[in-house]
């Protein structure tokens, strides 16, 4: 499920929510262990410590160097993780919230800070996160 939220600061937020048949601790591993994060998101040097600066890296393409600069804002294991996401002059914040349910976990991903829900960055994030979280589900299914 993907939806849009607007805040008073005139920014737009991409929200993707999933019900996953896995406990929060298992999902937390996939969100915070660099090698697992690479399997569903991107190569990275992530560490789950507030203040840690890290990068996601992809192959460069025309007009983009392939680097996303990030900094961990908060780590509340195994319920909430937040970090900055900066690339191509756009600064946003990504927040994952995990809520236990009777059948597993409700995962909510928010990326906030988009100027418009009409620009290419917003549309790309909407498509990208839906795709990334589908890959996350495959990684979770293969984890013991």
pLDDT tens string 9-45: 558 999 999 999 999 999 999 999 999 999 999 999 9
Q: Is 121 within 8 Å of 87 (Cβ atoms)? A: no
Number of helical (H) and strand (E) elements in the chain, helices listed first: 3, 7
Q: Specify the pTM.
A: 0.91
Buried b (16+ CB within 10 A) or exposed e, 40-49: bbbbbebebe
Q: What are phi and psi of 103, to 5 degrees?
A: -115, 5
Q: Dump pLDDT digits (tens) for 88-112.
A: 899 999 999 999 999 999 999 999 9
Q: For residue range 52-102, what is the model confidence (pLDDT) as tens digits?
A: 999 999 999 998 999 999 999 999 999 999 999 999 899 999 999 999 999
CATH topology for 2-142 is: Alpha-D-Glucose-1,6-Bisphosphate; Chain A, domain 4 (3.30.530)
- CA atoms of 119 and 90, how far apart (whole Å): 12
Where are the chain's structural domains? Answer: 2-142
């Amino acid at each position: 499920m993907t939806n849009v939220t607007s805040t008073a600061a005139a920014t737009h937020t991409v929200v993707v929510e999933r019900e996953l048949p896995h406990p929060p601790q298992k999902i937390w591993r996939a969100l915070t262990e660099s090698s697992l994060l690479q399997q569903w998101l991107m190569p990275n040097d992530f560490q789950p410590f507030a203040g840690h600066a890290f990068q996601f890296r992809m192959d460069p393409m025309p007009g983009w160097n392939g680097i996303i600069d990030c900094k961990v804002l908060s780590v509340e294991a195994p319920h909430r993780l937040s970090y900055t996401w900066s690339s191509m002059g756009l600064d946003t914040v990504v927040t994952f919230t995990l809520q236990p349910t009777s059948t597993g976990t409700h995962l909510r991903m928010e990326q906030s800070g988009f100027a418009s829900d009409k620009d290419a960055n917003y549309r790309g994030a909407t498509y990208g996160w839906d795709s990334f979280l589908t890959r996350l589900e495959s990684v979770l299914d293969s984890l013991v």
